[in-house]
Amino acid sequence: MTEIPEHLRKRAEAAKAKAQGEAAPSAGDAAPAAAASGDDKIPSHLLDRGTAAADQPAPSAGSAGGGLAAPAGSSGPDGHNQRLLTVVKSGSIQDTKATPQDKVHVWPHLLLAEFLAALAVTLFTLLFSIFVNAPLLELADFNKTPNPSKAPWYFLGLQELLTMFHPMVAGVTIPGIGLIVLVMAPYMDKNPSKRPEDRKFAISLMTVHLMFWSVLVMIGSFFRGPGFNFIFPWNSGLFFEL
C-alpha cells in the first residue's frame, strides 16, 4: 500500500480530532468540515469524489482488476481514513523561464562582423597604398649580391633559426610544432570566460609564442650584419631595410 506522507497524516489526525469534538449533523458534512480545517481549500467536486471513493469497499487481491494498490479512500496506518487529493497550481509545474543558450548562428552574427572587418582592412590598405610609396629597391643585379642578404622582416625569424639549426629542424620541425600547439590550444583550455585574469593558460601560451618569434625577428633585423654575422648596431651600424 502507498505510504502516506507525514504532513498529510498529521493534518488528517488534527481534522479527525476536531470533527469528533464538534457535533456533526451527518457523515456527508463531516468531510467538508475536515477539509476546511486544512491550509488549502479543496473544491467541492473533488471532496465529493473522494467521499464516494471512501465509501466503496476495497477490492481484494484476486479481483478482476488484479491490482494490489488500495484506492484513494482506503484505510491508512492506524486505521485512519486518508484522501490523497491535492490541488496543484499551474505556475508551480510550468517552467516559464527561457533556457539560456551559449551559441549563436554563424549568419548573421559571425559572418556580418567578419565582412565588416574585411571591408575596413581593405579600405585601410587601399588608402595606405595611395599615400605611402612601397620601399622598392633597384632592379636585381646577379653580379652584385647585397651583403647582408636578408629575407623580408616577417621571415627574418625563420632565417635566424636557419643559422642555429639544420634546415629540416629550423624550417619544418620547430614551426610545425608551434602551429600544432596553437591549433590544440582551444582544446587544452576550454575556459569560456573572456576576462584576462581567468585565462592565464591561454594568455601565457600566446605570450610565449609572440615573444619567441619577436625576439628572433629583432635579432635578424638589427643584430645581423655583413655575412649575416652577429653585430651590435650601435657599433657597426644598422643593416636593415623594409
Q: What is the pLDDT of residue 215?
A: 93
Considering only the top CATH level, what class is 138-236?
mainly alpha
Q: What is the pLDDT of residue 97?
A: 60
Task: Name the range with the highest mean pLDDT among 21-25, 43-47, 79-83, 224-228.
Answer: 224-228
Total-model pTM: 0.46
Condensed to tens digits (0 to 9), the pLDDT of residues 106-142 reads 888 889 999 999 999 999 999 999 988 877 778 888 8
Cα distance between residue 110 and residue 103, in whole Å? 11
Q: Rg for the chain (alpha carbons), in Å?
A: 43
C-alpha cell at 219: 635579432
Q: What is the pLDDT of residue 37?
A: 47
Residue 81: strand pairing partners: 75
Cα distance between residue 88 and residue 76, in whole Å? 23
- pLDDT grade for 105, boundaries at 50, 70 and 90: confident
Tell which wins on pLDDT, 172 or 137: 172
Residues 38 and 11: beta-carbon distance below 8 Å: yes
Q: What is the pLDDT of residue 96?
A: 58
Cα distance between residue 73 and residue 84, in whole Å? 7
Mean pLDDT of 150-172: 90
> Given a cut of 70, is residue 232 above it in pLDDT?
yes
**Residue 236 amino acid letter:** S
Residue spans of beta strands (DSSP E) within 34-128: none
Instruction: Indicate the SS3 state at residue 87.
Output: coil
Residues 55 and 28: beta-carbon distance below 8 Å: no
Give the burial class of 202: count Cβ atoms within 10 A of its Cβ; 0-12 exposed, 13-18 middle, 19 or more buried. middle
Phi, psi of 216 (to 5 degrees): -65, -40
Cα distance between residue 30 and residue 17, in whole Å? 12
Q: Concatenate the DSSP letters of all residues of 12-54 into one string.
A: HHHHHHHHHHS--S-HHHHHHHHHHTSSSPPPHHHHHHHHHHH
Residues 233 and 223: beta-carbon distance below 8 Å: yes
Residues 196 and 203: beta-carbon distance below 8 Å: yes
Domain spans, the chain: 6-91, 105-134, 138-236
Position of cell 469534538?
21
Condensed to tens digits (0 to 9), the pLDDT of residues 53-103 reads 556 655 554 444 444 444 444 555 555 565 655 655 555 555 556 666 677
Q: What is the pLDDT of residue 192?
A: 84
- Residues of the chain with pLDDT > 90, as a percent, come to 20
